[in-house]
Structure 1
């Protein structure tokens, strides 16, 4: 039997490189029932049972040429510690929420730090910071989680607990996730004292010592407003602490050729607050906290993912959370004329910042510099305007083009179609592009009674089948070859246009005259 603590601060998605001490890497859970698999980047401290000491680890992820680095330091380690795989003890709960390969001994996510000697206490200080290309990114808080059910009812072993004191007195404690096996009525007790120290204990025997031998109970707590904590844990056997960092990030989902675009964001949390005193948090009468929406965003919602969701039709992000790509109704087909302006109306934005967009007008699979809209201030429904490039081409059906929208606190965050920003959101949408089109109809007033010497009038009708107009810079032109007529007739030199445009005639080289009729519709 062990008692365990999962200490989770969070940044989404990183490959880790060790700065000092034993090798470590970061990994996302690939399985389990945890609510935040796409948000918690777990640190792995070595092979199960490998001895550890005070150390600093930096996880670095390179996104579109920018380095997102998370550095966490363990200092003041008191007691012998080693790497631990949750699921080694049959009553562990962390592996039920976050694992790689399955629960129990199938779990390959070795994210724990445990006391080496059973029954002893381990304590240390834990501090983290995040930078984007060397620029600090504010952490909004750490997560501590009871990674293994604690037991306080088995008289043959020492009572177990895990506790943490934030480095900020203004921190707010929330419970945001929890686990206990079906049929178990044990509960995790969350106790907060006047110094804002949170202790997780159980209200008696853990589930494994109750009928059926089940896992849990355990809970996940969020230290809102803290970047570090002092931690202590005591197990009847071994206790374990899993470490990670949570900083929500949003990515686009256009095809890979369009590059990676992402934004870090602070979603805020609501509910699940743990007051001073002792609260049972495992039952339905306690409602866990939930992430809110960031103040700066496109549309009503943002979800968090660990990496770009490249998909052929830019629907990968919506697959995570229905309605996330909600800054506007699906654009469908946009009707444009090269050289003219195109305005996308009613892009929903919230918060204080800036919005810009890109459309792949020439269909080359990238967002070129000349394909960016203007940059407008966020706040409510905004309109984005483009000057349509001369090399714009039609796209339709499976031959899709794409629209990218970005919002950020400053104009630098929306200056490029790719890369990471420290605020905001990215939305990608598939679009079809329609240019003005021509439908040609040719008629004459000749009848079966027409005889040599009669005048026959030919009419060429050009109809714009698009919703955008032809212009002087992008005219419609119709060329009518009359050689098959004028080999037996004489041109009267009286051609005229009844709409805007010009009509001209040129003598054919051979075999007969040709009339050319350029027109605009």
Structure 2
């Protein structure tokens, strides 16, 4: 039977998850270009874990795991074992792609349930889930069981390269299949992929929701695995990405779906709707040559040239044997901008049995522009989905897409220039600009051109010239045009020489040229009487370089410079001009502003003729310097006073030693008048600016005293204060909690003598350590004496003695008639349960559990320092106490505490529930999915009238599916 291909979601019997998928690039599988594999790398399978994938045709698939049991599978490469057949068919060269959820060799069974939902554009979408053994299973000791909630399992593809003839699939055509015998046990080598591999398929309903239960059971040591993917045979366009991404899904038919001997199952593509003679093939990627796989782009073999008429038409061979109208769109990138714009598409209806579609583009420009690409892109799409083909990209449910890049001969513009002539100056360069983007250029004459085959060469002619360019477009159109280049001569400047003047003087500048009508301008204008004449008078305040510009015909100009140096009268200075020195130090005086210097002592004794003079006076002194400027100045005499101050002498207090918390007075004196004192660091000092501060340091400190006299002259001395710390009395541990009957050693520290006392002051010992084993809560006392800087410290040491009476009980065991069991632990203040099914809060004393098999629950009970381990076992027996799933026939919602609410009792554990109640008019008055809910007779806040109400209940319980329909009477 032929049907539209929705999407195959492939489950291969590996076990692995990750956030994306791709097509296999290795192997010989016939569906290699169609299967979109999930990459589970980095994902961990566990209850509640889920992943969402989006296929290239927009199908969003979410897979959620539950009921996971056995060893946790791990992500793996497709080649989990060299003898597995699947990796021989579908594999990846990239080791980071892990399609396999792999359970390494073990004897334990693995099981899990997958809840799979699929949507497209936010709406539920049907799909087909496929499964195949990806390891190598031996019959009968390794079996993979698949249970689907969808349609019965069928074989999509069957591969065999062995001598096997047996059926590896039990239950084909039903909702439960068992796969085994996929590896030939008599193969020459276990490391060779020799065997048989059926690819199973099951259909999800239109709701897009499917549940698949997977069991990997083994009776020998061995590995098993599962993998997932999307089977998506899609015909794609192959123009560059800027043109958009069109996709057409296959329509296909299947045959021999449960055959395990020739003829094997097959998938055949429908040819009812196509372009040309061949239907679209399955392309693993777009934007590459579509004919790498197959050769389906055969509708057109040539394209007519464009005449410039404004219209362009094509006849496209088509096939439509669907029995209904189909639709075709054609896209022509006539502006060659690398994309299909809104006005570049045309559309037509393809009636049943039509063999040709006539497409006409109208309103085209007479001359097509040269865009970013050389050739013209064409795209043709045919489908029964008119909305899908109305766009150049997107997904269509059937049909085909074909892309072409065609070279057309089209009318073109003759090459042009922005202007017919242009002026330039002698010695300059000019870039000529012909129409860009043409195929070839040829300039004549070549004189003065940087190249003759470019659209925009650089021209440097020495005389007037007319250039001609002949250009040819890539469409074969050729034209020529000319441009005249006029070369104007540059003026030659004769200028005045550079000059030097003193501050306040002036000089006349001049400039001449042999070219008539030359104009002159000078910059900067500062200090000039007229900057626009040939011979201005310059009176600059500082040395200035004047630039004269001579401009002739055509704006051609040259420039020259004239520098006028301004010699200013220098200012005679001495640095520093006035000074203060401390006794015994030196100073360098430096004079400036002259050509000749003479230094004199107070008695006019010559001291030197250099600008610098180093002095070391013992008393306050005034020096004299004569500074002579031989250019624009004279001789200046300056006086330089130097004041000399003595250094103070310090008498300080001696170093000292104190206990922690003590203090000592420091002192410092000097015979020098007006001496001030400062102490550092200031920490611990009552007044760091006093001569005799009191020091209370927290630790040993060296204080530095600075004595400062006139002129800021100072000396420094140090005083060290040693601080002896008081030891800290302590007991470890300071507070204790022990279990009755245990012992403990207390240890005191921080003293020289110790005395331990009981609660009645009985002496217990004089050592730092005291072993104790109290039978009840008690407080000990210890006196700790420090003979140096301390005294006696008394510490109390409380010890709490704890006892423990722990137990754990259960309310019931699990049967079909009894619900969850309540576990209650007592006797402690803290509880630590070991993880087990049904436990949610491992620290709670009360737990409600509903295990599916006999389960022992273990915990540790803690009370203070005491702890005890205990356990309780909840048995599960679903073969006895089978519930009759009773329901009452009446209830009285009168709030008397008896029979006030109609609900489920004695039904045992209920996993899913639909519980609905209707009134006599068919109105739904109560609905719930919670088995703990019941109807109290109210609807929309109002108590309903006495009468009969119909209930309908469907439920899944541990002991099977239950359906109840009946009448309940509401009484007063």
Q: Residues of 2 paired with 1:254 and 1:194: CA distance?
A: 43
- Name the residue aligned to 2:98: 110
- TM-score by length of structure 2 reads 0.36
Larger radius of gyration: 2
Q: Secondary structure at the match of 1:366?
A: coil
| Partner of residue 161 from structure 1, selected from 106, 130, 143 | 143
What is aligned with 2:252? 268
Q: Superposed, which structure 2 residues align to 1:263-412 within 5 Å? A: 263=248, 265-274=249-258, 280-281=260-261, 285-293=262-270, 296-299=273-276, 300-310=278-288, 316-322=289-295, 324-326=296-298, 328-340=299-311, 342-349=313-320, 351=322, 352=324, 353-377=326-350, 379=352, 380-381=354-355, 382-390=357-365, 393=368, 399-412=374-387
Query: Is 1:73 aligned to residue 64 of structure 2?
Result: yes
- The separation in 1 between residues aligned to 2:291 and 2:39, in whole angstroms, is 30
Counterparts of 2:267 and 2:75, CA distance in 1: 29
Pick closer, same or farther for the CA change 1:349–1:73 going to 2, 3 Å: farther
Cα pair distance change 1:33/1:117, threshold 3 Å:
closer
Q: CA deviation at 1:130?
A: 3.8
Give structure 2 stretches of 5+ with no counterpart.
1-6, 11-15, 413-478, 480-972
Deviations 1:229-278 (A, max 9, x none): 33322233221111112233221011333222223x2432322410xxxx
CA contact (8 A) 1:163 1:198 kept: yes
CA contact (8 A) 1:262 1:418 kept: yes
Distance in 2 (alpha carbons) for counterparts of 1:350 and 1:81: 52
Structure number with higher relative contact order (C-alpha < 8 Å, ≥ 6 residues apart): 1
Cα distance in 1 for residues equivalent to 2:318 and 2:18? 47
Tell me the secondary structure at the aligned position of residue 77 of structure 1: strand
- Residues 268 and 293, structure 1, Cα contact 8 Å, conserved in 2: yes
1:254–1:202: structure 2 CA closer, same or farther, 3 Å change rule?
Answer: same
Per-residue deviation, 1:337? 3.8
Instruction: Rate the CA distance shift 1:120–1:410 in 2: closer, same or farther, 3 A.
Output: same
Q: Counterpart of 1:163 in 2: which secondary structure?
A: strand
1:248 counterpart = 2:233? yes
Q: Cα distance, 1:436 vs. partner?
A: 7.0
Instruction: Give CA-to-partner distance per residue, 1:103-158, whole Å, 9 cap, x none.
Output: xxxx554222244672233333334444443344432x2211111221026xxxxx
Q: Which residue in the other structure is 1:220 paired with? A: 198
Counterpart CA distance in 2 for 1:62 and 1:144 is 21
Deviation at 1:388, TM superposition (A): 4.8
Q: 1:513 aligns to what?
A: none
Query: Is the contact between residue 233 and residue 239 of structure 1 (CA under 8 Å) also seen in structure 2?
Result: yes
Number of the residue aligned with 2:159: 178
Deviations 1:138-184 (A, max 9, x none): 32x2211111221026xxxxx11223233234x4612414254xx65
Equivalent-residue separation in structure 1 for 2:166 and 2:305 (angstroms): 56
Higher strand proportion, which one? 2
Uncovered stretches (5+) of structure 1, i.e. residues with no partner = 1-8, 13-20, 154-158, 311-315, 438-478, 480-521
1:232 aligns to 2:204 (yes or no): no
Aligned-residue Cα RMSD (Å) equals: 3.6
Query: Which stretch has the larger CA shift, 108-117 or 354-363?
Result: 108-117
Q: Among 403, 411, 422, which residue is 1:428 paired with?
A: 403
CA distance in 2 between counterparts of 1:45 and 1:406 reads: 35
Separation (CA, whole Å) in 2 of partners of 1:192 and 1:149: 20
Q: Following the alignment from structure 2 to structure 1, what is the Cα–Cα distance between the partners of residues 346 and 367?
A: 15
> For 1:391 and 1:362, how far apart are their aligned partners in 2?
12
Alpha carbons of structure 1 residues 272 and 251: separation in structure 2 relative to 1, 3 Å: same
With over 3 angstroms needed to count, the CA separation of the structure-2 counterparts of 1:33 and 1:187, relative to structure 1, is: farther
Tell me by how many angstroms 1:332 deviates: 3.3
CA contact (8 A) 2:153 2:173 kept: no
Given the superposition, is the C-alpha separation of residues 207 and 369 from structure 1 closer, same or farther in structure 2, using an over 3 Å criterion? same
Take 1:416 and 1:424, find their aligned partners in 2: how far apart are those partners? 14
Secondary structure of the corresponding residue to residue 134 of structure 2 = strand
Work out the CA distance in 1 between the residues paired with 2:254 and 2:93.
Answer: 32
Where 2:291 maps in the other structure, the secondary structure is coil
Spell out, residue by residue over 1:61-108, the C-alpha distance to the aligned partner (whole angstroms, 9 max, x if none).
Answer: 578xxx542323333334343124232333222221111128xxxx55
Alpha-carbon distance change, 61 to 225 in structure 1, aligned in 2, over 3 angstroms? closer
Cα 1:128–1:386 change in 2 (3 A) is farther
- Mark the CA change 1:138 to 1:151 in structure 2 (over 3 Å): closer, same or farther: same
Q: How many aligned residue pairs are there?
A: 387
Residue 366 of structure 1, CA deviation:
1.9
